[in-house]
Each structure stands twice: as C-alpha cells, then as structure tokens.
Amino acid sequence: MDVFIIGISGGVGGLLARNLRARGDHVHGLVRREQQRADLASRGAIAHLGDLARMTVRELATAFGTVGTVVYSAGSNGGGKEVTDAIDNRGVVKAIEAARLAGIPRFALVSVLPEAGRGQGMSEEEEYYFAVKKEADIALTRSGLNWLILRPSMLTDGPGTGQVSLGPAESHDEISREDVAATLAELLHEPRIGRQILELNTGSTPLREAVQANIR
C-alpha cells in the first residue's frame, strides 16, 4: 500500500508508520521541520515539509500525490480551543477536501471514544475538544470518501499486548498506542472494511481476529 500519515511524528502515527513499513508498504507523512524529515527518511518513510494550519487545500493535495490512503492521526489532546480547532476540526476538514481534490479514495481518522473523560470534571477546553472531535467525525462520514473512523480508548505508552476489543460500541478503559497502531495497520490492510465507525479498547481477542470479525 501507499499511505500518507498526517500526524506521523506523533505517538500513534509514528508507530503506524513503523508497522506499515515492516509490512513493505510505502509510507509518506507531513512534518514541519527538516530534522523530522531526515529522521523519517532514515527509517524508510518519505516526509513532506509543511504546516497543516497554513497549507492550502491544493498544497496539501499536491503533497498527497497519488497515495491510495490518507490517515489522519494528528490531535491536540485537549489543549487550548484555538489549537484544538486548528488541528482537530479545520485540519481534518482541509485534509478531507485535499483527499477529494487529489482523487484519493480512502481516508482513515483516529478519533476518540465519546465516553472518554466523562464524569471527571472536565474543563471547558476538554469539553470543546470532544465536541470538535465529533464534528470532524460527522464531516468525514458525509465526505463521500471510503472512510474509516477508529475511536480508541484512553491512550497509554505501555507495551502492546496484541489483544483488543473492537466493534461498533466498546467500553472506555485504556489501550496502548502500540495496539492502536497495530490494529489500524491491520484495518488498512482489510479492503472489506469501510464506511464504519469502530471503537477500540483493551481486550482478549487477538487483533487480527478482532478486525476480521468486523468485516461486513
């Protein structure tokens, strides 16, 4: 496969790139600094310099080139409203428009479980973050693309177990970024999964089996 990752320098995006490269896929990504591009090149990925917030739709479409899939894994993690809006809202919409302009059929979005953080006295900024993530989900489902939305539970940096719980509705707990990236890589390699919202949590099912169980 030929995949472009927005958020390739982040936790899930970086692990996804490594996973896809191990499968023999061609991986591209968007970075803001030359050093990041050099680091990715040393790991076999092709990085394009650009600031998502400042790029036009056409510039982003040009960066996408002729890849077959765009993955959007960038996120503000509930920071200030301005940053959240730029990355989790307008950034997603811009990437969707760029994918359509470039004729890229498949678009995968790493979102968030709606239940995450509920009942924990969230700040106004955190509430805004969840509202914006939902708006981005809606925009993608109405885009006409062959979309996939993956909503992982709370992310951790612990080692992956290779066992998950994956389906249209899952409980909110926590899951390692390694397991999220591995599950997403498996989903991307399953062409029969599309136009689906899947929630992901730690579980007891081998992730390949969990993905196969969600083929419609």
Nearest to 75 by CA among 123, 138, 8, 170: 8
Closest CA to 164 of 125, 206, 198: 206
Active-site residue identified among 64, 129, 130, 147: 129
DSSP annotation string for the chain: -EEEEETTTSHHHHHHHHHHHHTT-EEEEEESSHHHHHHHHHTT-EEEE--TTT--HHHHHHHHTT-SEEEE-----S--HHHHIIIIIIHHHHHHHHHHHHT--EEEEE---TTTTTTS---HHHHHHHHHHHHHHHHHHTSSSEEEEEEE-EEE-SPP-SEEEEESS----EEEHHHHHHHHHHHHT-TT--SEEEEEEE-SEEHHHHHHTT--
φ and ψ of 190, to 5 deg: -115, 95
Q: Among this protein's residues, is 128 annotated catalytic? A: no
Would you please indicate which residues are annotated as catalytic (active-site) residues?
129
